[in-house]
């Protein structure tokens, strides 16, 4: 592609976008490069550029852009006329301006009624962008604009370098763009996945084919929902595996532990006589801890089917908070609760859901205890109705979690605690799932964590 053709589109886009303000220097430089070319060749390329430019604009902006593009070509042709020979410039001016006006008018009319294929391209669920071989952005559809969170008119005509420093694009998007371009230069193709600052998973593909005349086609698809489905399926597979392990070993270990505990109790009088009663106490406490782990194994393998009964969410929370208040008081942590709907009712196994809530409150206390500063510990518990679900929110101001921890939070055996088993949250996940509900987590490192538990609502109360 000739150099002037590469420069023409970004200069035109900048002129049209800004109404000619602030781009006089690069416009005049382009005119110098066009000196000596035929008007027909310039107008043909101008018409193609205007059609491409208008395909990126909203209907209400197209008329303004048509007028500005007409001004651009008029000034260009006048500039070229001044350098023409005096013999033909009078007639040449009129003829060239007429051709230019017809070209612009033709482009605008064609664009007012986009083809069926263009309409499909603009509104497909994948973001699509087109760069020429010099790195200038020539086209992007509506979905790509939404993914970038920037209007299309702001970016069209920008070079890659300008996009890397574009103030309208977020820092995370610019970093991912730079990483993608580096990978593209190495392999000439790119197909990869990114996670942006808001947690969305984006599948990015870049290709260059002969059909595109050397241009680069970029497609981006938000696959967050598919990721959630994949993670949920993976989570269920791991829980099923955990169940098989638990069922296989639980009873085999429990029986000998019971025997050992009985013999240690028989030896306690002798240990007291020789002053070693502390040994007996430690052995018994460790056996009890092992039994607790086995109990959690059994629960995680197959929590008993919930024995559901209707209960007020407010009453459930008050009973749960009552069980946690003494420990919170000893640790200097305040528990606040707010019930927006006193008649909000769910059908649950109260014992199992209390187990979930107590586990999450205990985790919140541990997160607050692990903070390095001297902040006042606080746990906020809120319940309200959201659609067909009762929402229970448990929010703390503890140390929070990194994204890598969040991604594995409900995995069996995964724990960040020295003495943790990594089973509490996986069991909680299974219990809530068995009740037809879901759990979501939002956490910021050094700011705190919020667990959101959704349970189906029912009518009436007991």
pLDDT > 70? residue 44 = yes
Domain final residue, candidates 270, 301, 332: 301
pLDDT digits (tens, 9 = 90+) for 7-30: 777 777 777 777 666 666 777 777
Whether 88 maps to a domain, the answer reads: yes
Angstrom distance (rounded) from CA 247 to CA 298? 7
pLDDT at 359: 87
Strand order in the sheet with 389-396: 333-339, 377-386, 389-396, 448-456, 438-444
Residue 386: strand pairing partners? 389
399 vs 16: which has the higher pLDDT: 399
Q: Quick check: 191 and 204 in contact, CB under 8 A?
A: yes
pLDDT at 194: 77
| Residue 140 or 293, more confident | 140
Supply 130's token pair. Answer: 């087109």
How many domains would you assign to the chain? 4
In a domain, 239, yes or no: yes
What integer pLDDT is reported at residue 202 of this predicted model?
83
Question: What phi and psi, each to the nearest 5 degrees, are found at residue 2?
Answer: -60, 155
Would you say residue 249 has pLDDT above 90? no
Which is nearest to 172 in space by CA: 139, 156, 196, 150?
Answer: 196
Give the residue, 289 or 436, on which the prediction is more confident. Answer: 436
Which pLDDT tens digit goes with each residue over 101-136? Answer: 555 545 444 444 555 666 677 777 788 888 887 788
pLDDT in tens, 147-203: 888 887 788 888 888 888 888 888 888 888 888 888 877 777 778 787 777 777 888
Q: Is residue 53 part of a domain?
A: yes
358 and 437 in a common domain: yes
- Whether 462 shows a pLDDT value over 60: the answer reads no
Stronger pLDDT, 39 or 229, i.e. the higher one: 229
- pTM: predicted TM-score of the whole model, two decimal places: 0.43
Q: How far apart are CA 217 and CA 221, in angstroms?
A: 13
For 151: left if phi > 0, alpha if psi spans -120 to 50, otherwise beta; the answer is: beta
* One domain for residues 293 and 365: no
Asked if 51 and 86 sit in the same domain, the reply is: yes
Task: Indicate whether 165 and 189 sit together in one domain.
Answer: yes
First and final C-alpha spacing in the chain: 78
Which residue range(s) make up the domain with 389?
A: 309-456
Q: Which own/partner contact pairs does 109-112 have at CB distance under 8 Å and 24+ positions apart?
A: 110/51, 111/51, 111/54, 111/55, 111/62, 112/59, 112/62
Same domain assignment for residues 375 and 443: yes
What pLDDT sits at residue 420? 63
Q: Any idea what the CATH number is for the domain that residue 177 is in? A: 3.30.450.20
- Tell me what the mean pLDDT of segment 33-48 comes to: 74
pLDDT, mean of residues 287-316:
75
Residues 375 and 449 both lie in one domain = yes
From 267, 301, 335, the end of a domain falls on: 301
Q: Is residue 461 part of a domain?
A: no
Q: Which of 283, 301, 319 is the last residue of a domain?
A: 301
Q: Report whether pLDDT(397) > 80.
A: yes
Site of tokens 């886009």: 13
| Burial track 414-445 (b if 16+ CB lie within 10 A, e otherwise) | bbbeeeebbbbbbbbbbbbbbbebebeeebee
Q: Rounded to whole angstroms, how far apart are CA atoms 42 and 99? A: 11
Specify the range with the lowest mean pLDDT, choosing from 75-89, 314-328, 355-369. 75-89
Residue 359 in any domain: the answer is: yes
Domain-embedded: residue 39? yes
Pair (243, 343) in one structural domain: no
pLDDT for residue 461: 47
Least confident segment among 69-73, 393-397, 400-404: 69-73
Alpha-carbon 138 to chain mean position: 27
Percent of the chain with pLDDT over 90: 11
**Residue 218, domain member (yes or no):** yes
pLDDT at 98: 47
Q: Is residue 462 part of a domain?
A: no
Mean pLDDT calculated for residue range 71-83: 66
Is residue 316 located within the same domain as residue 387?
Answer: yes
Q: 140-168: string of b/e by CB count within 10 Å (b at 16+)?
A: bbbbbbebbebebbebbbbeeeebeebee
Above 50 in pLDDT, residue 93?
A: no
Do 94 and 199 belong to one domain?
A: no
CATH code (residue 415): 3.30.565.10
Q: For residues 345, 348, 352 and 356, what is the CA-based torsion angle, rounded to 10 degrees?
A: -40
Contact between 288 and 352 under an 8 Å Cβ cutoff? The reply is no
Mean pLDDT of the chain, nearest integer? 77
Query: What pLDDT score was predicted for residue 346?
Result: 94
Distance from C-alpha of 236 to C-alpha of 433, rounded to nearest angstrom? 10
Distance of CA 21 to the CA centre of its chain: 37
Q: Which of 339, 348, 333 is nearest to 318 (CA)?
A: 339
Same domain, 63 and 126: no
242 and 218 in one domain? no
Residues 237 and 213 in one domain: no
DSSP state string for 266-334: HHHHHHHHTT-HHHHHHHHHHHHHHHHHHHHHHHHH-PPPP--EEEEHHHHHHHHHHHHHHHHHHTTEE
> Cβ(352)–Cβ(453) under 8 Å?
no
pLDDT band at 58 (very low <50, low <70, confident <90, very high): low
Top pLDDT among 266 and 72 is at 266
Q: Are 90 and 96 in contact (CB under 8 A)?
A: no
Instruction: List the Cα angle 379/385/389 in 5-degree steps.
Output: 105
Question: What is the rounded distance in angstroms from the CA atom of residue 12 to the CA atom of residue 36?
Answer: 19
CA–CA distance, 25 with 41 (Å, rounded to integer): 23
pLDDT bucket at 379, cuts 50 / 70 / 90: very high
- Residues 377/368, Cβ–Cβ less than 8 Å: yes
């Amino acid at each position: 592609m000739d150099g002037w053709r590469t420069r023409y589109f970004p200069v035109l886009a900048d002129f049209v976008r800004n109404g000619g303000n602030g781009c006089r220097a690069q416009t005049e430089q382009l005119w110098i490069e066009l000196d000596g070319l035929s008007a027909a060749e310039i107008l043909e390329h101008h018409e193609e550029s205007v059609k491409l430019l208008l395909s990126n604009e909203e209907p209400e902006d197209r008329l303004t852009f048509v007028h500005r593009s007409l001004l651009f070509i008029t000034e260009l042709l006048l500039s070229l006329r001044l350098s023409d020979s005096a013999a033909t410039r009078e007639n040449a001016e009129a003829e060239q301006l007429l051709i230019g006006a017809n070209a612009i008018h033709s482009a605008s009319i064609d664009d007012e009624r986009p083809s069926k294929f263009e309409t499909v391209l603009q509104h497909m669920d994948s973001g699509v962008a087109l760069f020429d071989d010099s790195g200038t952005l020539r086209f992007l559809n509506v979905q790509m604009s939404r993914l970038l969170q920037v209007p299309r008119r702001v970016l069209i005509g920008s070079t890659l370098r300008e996009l890397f420093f574009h103030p309208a694009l977020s820092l995370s998007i610019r970093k991912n763009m730079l990483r993608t371009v580096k990978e593209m230069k190495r392999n000439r193709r790119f197909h990869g996945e990114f996670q942006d600052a808001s947690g969305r998973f984006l599948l990015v593909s870049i290709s260059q084919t002969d059909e595109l005349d050397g241009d680069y086609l970029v497609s981006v698809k938000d696959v967050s929902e598919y990721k959630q489905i994949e993670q949920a399926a993976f989570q269920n597979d791991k829980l099923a595996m955990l169940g098989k392990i638990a069922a296989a070993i639980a009873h085999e270990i429990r029986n000998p532990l019971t025997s050992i505990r009985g013999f240690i109790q028989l030896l306690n009088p002798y240990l007291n006589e020789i002053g070693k009663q502390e040994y007996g106490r430690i052995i018994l406490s460790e056996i009890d801890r092992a039994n607790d782990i086995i109990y959690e194994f059994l629960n995680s393998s197959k929590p008993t089917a919930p024995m559901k009964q209707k209960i007020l969410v407010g009453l459930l929370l008050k009973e749960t908070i009552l069980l946690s208040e003494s420990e919170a008081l000893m640790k200097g942590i305040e528990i606040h609760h707010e019930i927006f709907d006193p008649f909000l009712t769910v059908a649950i196994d109260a014992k199992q859901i209390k187990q979930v809530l107590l586990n999450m409150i205990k985790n919140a206390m541990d997160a607050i205890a692990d903070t390095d500063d001297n902040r006042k510990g606080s746990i906020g518990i809120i319940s309200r109705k959201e659609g067909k679900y009762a929402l229970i929110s448990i929010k703390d101001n503890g140390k929070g979690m990194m994204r890598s921890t969040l991604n594995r939070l409900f995995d069996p055996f995964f724990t960040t605690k020295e003495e943790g088993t990594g089973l509490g949250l996986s069991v909680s996940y299974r219990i809530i799932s068995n009740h037809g509900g879901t759990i979501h987590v939002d956490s910021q490192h050094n700011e705190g964590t919020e667990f959101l538990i959704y349970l189906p609502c029912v009518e009436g109360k007991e």
